[in-house]
Amino acid sequence: MSDLIKLSLADIQKGLKAKKFSASEVTSAYLNEIDAANPKLNAYVSIENEQALSMAKASDEKLAKGTGGALEGVPLGIKDLFATKGAHTQAGSHILDGFKPEYESFITNNLWQDGAVMLGKLNMDEFAMGSSNETSYYGAVINPHRASGSNKDLVPGGSSGGSATAVSAFLCAGATATDTGGSIRQPAAFTGTVGIKPTYGRCSRWGVVAFASSLDQAGPITRTVEDSALMLASMAGFDKLDSTSVDLAVPDFAAAVKRGVKGLRIGVPKEYRMDGMPDEIEKLWQQGLAWLKDEGAIIKDISLPHTKYALPAYYIVAPAEASSNLARYDGVKYGLRVNGDSIDEMYENTRAAGFGAEVQRRVLIGTYVLSAGYYDAYYVKAQKVRTLIKRDFENVFNDGIDAILTPATPSAAFGVNDQEMKADPVKMYLNDIFTVTVNMAGLPAIAVPAGKDKAGLPLGLQLIGKPFDEETLFAAGRVIERSAGLDFTPKKRW
Amino acid sequence: MSVDADIVRKIGHLARIKLKEENLAGLADELNVILGFVEQLDEVDVSDVEPMTSVIPATLRTRKDEVTSGGYADKITSNAPLSEDNFFMVPKVVE
């Protein structure tokens, strides 16, 4: 049955409908693989064996009758950030110890309504704060890929590192993920998988543990572009319980995958050519442009002048919103409580013990920039810069650009416990330099595996689209995937 | 702008996070690295620029002011570390 796990989500869907295998078989195959691989990779923080098998059985009954939803019987992994009723939901944090929601997030509810099967909850950086999946209370996730000839463990990126590793190592057919500054696209690039952050408002945030509410957006990580289209179609949609959810029909994303790029205008922003960027990344970028041109796209040089200010503005806006959102973890309503002599001391003790170092750092920064006397100098200023970043994109789209091609990350995956990044938080933050602009402007963007570096590690390209035009990203992403024609299967060591 | 150990202690209290006295200086250094990084924004001319309030053009939806959900205090308190009769239990607040 080990060949079942290697199928794409689309092929699992087809195989189930054609009764070539059952949902119970494919679910068991994934559960077996998780048992074998998880001690080494640490992708799952909770494996829901019983629930998975009972959901699969229910799917088999529907499939036998020829009924069932679009994802009937398809086994998925769910990032620990999504509320799943009665199941582990701790956002990778100690402070939510033992929390089992009484309700289901809008997105996971959509997936189960469409027949998908939940295998378990996926590891992540604590409260989605991190770019290496090393800030999790449950320990680091390990990238299934290694440099050729090396035994060194590499990070899968973050914060959706568990999602990216699980998809890359065939521990699920697809996974949910979330992206506040690059947390879907950077791990996808590091693991040779596809990840799309849809337009802000496309996927409901209801039941997704909040980090920075004006930036947070959920999306899928999958092994192919087509699979991402299929999964996003189920995840997306209007939800009246999220005041920023957009009441727009969900397009036929799968149809868009086959559309091609003939006549599309692809922008190449000169500001994304960073000093010290490895030659391999530059070469990959040029290769990506050549592929799109070969299929009939028109390549145009563009300028997004405020690009370099996106990351510093992000490190005001995101911690500010986080410090406010994380105020709810007080030892009263759920999770951990550490007692103290007064209620204030109980709050302080609980939050000191419950939050890890990176979360504490960001809550402190956020509290500082929002404190009396500093609000205008930091937060308001950052939101003004954000207006300028968004305006940059509006200008190029108004000039007729359909999508923008950039590298997804400034490097391939780096080592676990990297000392330089440990010593300097800003070095770690620079991982998101190409992805964070998109969150600041609320735009959709997809990361597609497009090449490998000298050591054989995956490298990704990013396509940025107009608001609510994920379809063009699927079309162009597919062209890059097909043109690259590479196999990103990691060498098995579990 | 930069912070020192005293300011970090004060921010820690505002954020309701107990910080160890011996960690304050190190934390101040870390926060100053981040504050130094965001200071790049001073290069940008933002006069006549409106701060962003919504990343997508949207107005908040309104609805009838009526009860749409509730009546499940047991569920609300089911995850509380300490509760009694569907009330959250906290250390004594009023003398």
Q: Does B94 touch chain A (CB under 8 A)?
A: no
Interface test with A, best of B10, B14, B17 (most A CBs within 10 A): B17
Tell me, yes or no, whether B24 lies in a domain. yes
Bigger pLDDT: B2 vs A116: A116
- Residue A266 CA, chain-centre distance (Å), reads 24
* A414 Cα to chain B: minimum distance (Å): 22
Bigger pLDDT: A160 vs B62: A160
Tell me, yes or no, whether A260 lies in a domain. yes
pLDDT on residue A428: 87
Tell me, yes or no, whether B87 lies in a domain. no
pLDDT on residue A2: 62
In this complex, do A246 and B58 lie within 8 Å of one another by their Cβ atoms?
yes
A357: nearest CA in chain B? B27
Tell me, yes or no, whether B92 lies in a domain. no
* A152 Cα to chain B: minimum distance (Å): 28
Q: Are A260 and A296 in contact (CB under 8 A)?
A: yes
The residues of A annotated as belonging to the active site are 79, 159, 183
pLDDT on residue A258: 97
Tell me, yes or no, whether B41 lies in a domain. no
**Reported confidence tier of residue A236, pLDDT bands at 50, 70, 90:** very high
- pLDDT above 70: residue B37: yes
A380: nearest CA in chain B? B51
Would you state the structure tokens that stand for residue B7, as one six-digit string? 């300011």
Tell me, yes or no, whether B76 lies in a domain. no
A176-192 pLDDT, tens per residue? 999 999 999 999 999 99
Tell me, yes or no, whether A14 lies in a domain. yes
In this complex, do B93 and A343 lie within 8 Å of one another by their Cβ atoms?
yes
- pLDDT above 90: residue A424: no
Bigger pLDDT: A278 vs A121: A121
- pLDDT above 60: residue B10: yes
* B36 Cα to chain A: minimum distance (Å): 9
Query: Helices B24-38 & A310-325, crossing angle to 10 degrees?
Result: 130
In this complex, do A243 and B88 lie within 8 Å of one another by their Cβ atoms?
no
In this complex, do B41 and A309 lie within 8 Å of one another by their Cβ atoms?
yes
- pLDDT above 70: residue A483: yes
For residue A8, give the CATH number of its domain. 3.90.1300.10
A379: nearest CA in chain B? B51
Mean of the pLDDT values across residues A250-274? 97
- Residues in chain B with CB shorter than 8 Å from the CB of A308 are 40
Q: Are B30 and A361 in contact (CB under 8 A)?
A: yes
Tell me, yes or no, whether A227 lies in a domain. yes
Distance CA A44, CA B90 (A): 34
Number of domains observed in the structure of chain A: 1
- Domain containing A148 equals 4-264
Tell me, yes or no, whether B37 lies in a domain. no
* B3 Cα to chain A: minimum distance (Å): 9
Q: Does B67 touch chain A (CB under 8 A)?
A: no
Distance CA A378, CA A130 (A): 22
Question: What's the angle, vertex CA A243, arms to CA A240 and CA A245, rounded to 5?
Answer: 70
pLDDT on residue A173: 98
What percent of chain A stands above pLDDT 90?
A: 96
- Residues in chain A with CB shorter than 8 Å from the CB of B88 are 332-333
pLDDT on residue A57: 98
- Adjacent-strand bridge partners of A451: A459
Instruction: Say if pTM beats, i.e. exceeds, 0.95.
Output: yes
For B7, other C-beta atoms within 10 Å of its C-beta total 16
- Residues in chain B with CB shorter than 8 Å from the CB of A377 are 1
Tell me, yes or no, whether A99 lies in a domain. yes
In this complex, do B8 and A364 lie within 8 Å of one another by their Cβ atoms?
yes
Number of domains observed in the structure of chain B: 1
Tell me, yes or no, whether B88 lies in a domain. no
Q: What does DSSP say about strands A265-269 and A117-122: parallel, antiparallel, or unpaired?
A: unpaired
A291-321 pLDDT, tens per residue? 999 999 999 999 999 999 999 999 999 999 9
Q: Average pLDDT over chain B, rounded to whole?
A: 94
Tell me, yes or no, whether A107 lies in a domain. yes
In this complex, do B80 and A346 lie within 8 Å of one another by their Cβ atoms?
no
Tell me, yes or no, whether B22 lies in a domain. yes
Q: What does residue B80 show for φ and ψ, rounded to 5 degrees?
A: -70, 140
pLDDT on residue A1: 52
**Reported confidence tier of residue A423, pLDDT bands at 50, 70, 90:** confident
**DSSP per-residue letters across A114-164:** TT-EEEEEE--SGGG--SSS-S-TT-PPPPS---TT----B---SSSHHHH
**Reported confidence tier of residue A234, pLDDT bands at 50, 70, 90:** very high
Q: What does DSSP say about strands A75-79 and B83-84: parallel, antiparallel, or unpaired?
A: unpaired
pLDDT on residue B59: 82
Q: Are A194 and A227 in contact (CB under 8 A)?
A: yes
Q: Which residues contact A356 (CB under 8 A, 6 or more apart)?
A: A93, A94, A126, A135, A137
Give the CA count within 13 Å in the CB-facing half-sphere of A280: 16
- pLDDT above 90: residue A222: yes
- Domain containing B6 equals 1-31
Would you state the structure tokens that stand for residue A303, as one six-digit string? 């300028």
